[in-house]
Amino acid sequence: MTAMPTTGARHVTQMFCRQMFRPALAAGATLALLAGCVSFGDKAPPQLLTLTSDAAPTAGSMAQASVTEAIIVDVPTVERTLDQVRVPVQVSDSAIAYVQDAIWADKPARLFRGVLAETLAAKSGRLVLDQVETGSERGMMLSGQLQRFGYDEAARSVIVQYDAVIRQPGTPLRKQRFQASVPVAVVDAVNVGAALNQAANTVAVQVAAWVAG
């Protein structure tokens, strides 16, 4: 872990890196660099990461229902390491780094909520809303906690872990943990972002099947 020197009274830059080499998958290459890095400073990232649902409703599709028949999807709660726009790297049980230049367009909990909502709408055909749109909890409420949403160095994979809770008037409370992992060969913003999008969609499909059951 390395700290870069300051370059001005109002500019502070710190960089933390862990690097390792493994055989590259690309033809003709001999080594690929795997790095879990974070940097803070004035330089903007080359791109912002986002999540997109693989099962979004088609354009022009419409659902109609009363509030009591709708599915209300809440934004998951998160711990502090996920309550930000950087992508964490689990270095050890007690150490976190961040993927260099990997910045979300929004906080991952809100992005993941969007994937959940679109997947549920596409898979169930039901009306899916957020609590702001309904102003109540009279329908089926899907909430929960996003436990993990980043790269795990020991597993060499991204991991998405979501504890889902269903509340519905007149029925018992239900809770279940869902998890998906996707291997990552080169740890950079593009590869980690794509893998997290894939894992998030896998978890969303699992949750949609659970809700339907």
On the CB side of 133, how many CA atoms lie within 13 Å of its CA? 14
User: What's the pLDDT score for residue 24?
Assistant: 34
| Band of residue 59 on the pLDDT scale cut at 50, 70, 90 | low
Return the minimum-mean-pLDDT range out of 71-85, 104-118, 127-141, 165-179.
127-141
Q: Residue 1 falls within a domain, yes or no?
A: no
Q: Percent of the chain, pLDDT > 70?
A: 69
The encoded tokens of residue 8 equal 């001005």
| pLDDT 10s digits, 122-172 | 998 888 888 655 555 567 899 999 999 999 999 999 999 999 999 988 889
Q: Does residue 33 lie in a domain region?
A: no
Residue 17 has pLDDT above 80, yes or no: no
In a domain, 200, yes or no: yes
- Domain residues for the domain of 52 are 44-57+65-212
Please indicate, yes or no, if residue 127 is contained in any of the structural domains.
yes
Amino acid at 114: G
**What 8-state DSSP symbol labels residue 28?**
T
11, burial (CB in 10 Å: exposed 0-12, middle 13-18, buried 19+): exposed
**Pick from 185, 187, 146: nearest CA to 51:** 146
Q: What is the pLDDT of residue 166?
A: 95
- Torsions phi, psi of 195, nearest 5? -65, -40
Number of domains in the chain: 1
**Inside any domain, residue 202:** yes
> For residues 211 and 27, which has the higher predicted lDDT (pLDDT)?
211
pLDDT of residue 11: 33
Say if 49 falls within a structural domain. Answer: yes
Q: Could you tell me if residue 196 is inside a domain?
A: yes
* pLDDT value, residue 132: 57
The CATH number that applies at residue 196 is: 3.40.50.10610
Residue 88 included in any domain: yes
> Mean of the pLDDT values across residues 164-187?
95
